[in-house]
Amino acid sequence: MPPPPHPRAVSTRKADIHSGPVISPQAKERIEAAIASVETQGGKILLDGRGCTVAEYPDGNFVGPTIVEVTTDMDAYKWVLIELLSKKLMIGMKSLDLS
């Protein structure tokens, strides 16, 4: 199945916002490094927000919405829980059952 279309990232001043910029180029690098670590540690990137650009703001620090599948021992999971730096990385975990 092909991946879903990338949600539109725009400036926070737009009425139809889906995702705004992160605070700095360094924050963008940290977020993209966390996303990259998912694949290298055996997780899955289901929706990849790296490389997101906005034509009106070519120098903006945009990271598109991202959905990853990880386990609790992976760096991305720990980073989101410990640092709480970004709400742009959504963690999905598989459960053996619902009981």
Query: Tens-digit pLDDT profile for the chain (99 aa)?
Result: 455 555 555 445 555 556 678 889 998 998 899 999 999 999 999 999 898 888 888 899 998 888 889 888 898 888 776 665 445 555 566 666 665
DSSP state of 87: S
pLDDT of residue 77: 84
Domain interval for residue 36 = 25-92
Please report whether residue 1 resides in a domain. Answer: no
pLDDT digits (tens, 9 = 90+) for 66-77: 888 988 889 888
Structural domains of the chain, count? 1
pLDDT of residue 2: 53
**Cα 29 to Cα 87: distance, rounded to the nearest angstrom:** 15
Percentages (nearest 5) of helix, strand, coil residues in the chain: 25, 10, 65
pLDDT of residue 14: 56
pLDDT of residue 85: 46
Alpha carbon 94 to chain centroid, angstroms: 18
Please report whether residue 77 resides in a domain. Answer: yes
Please report whether residue 80 resides in a domain. Answer: yes
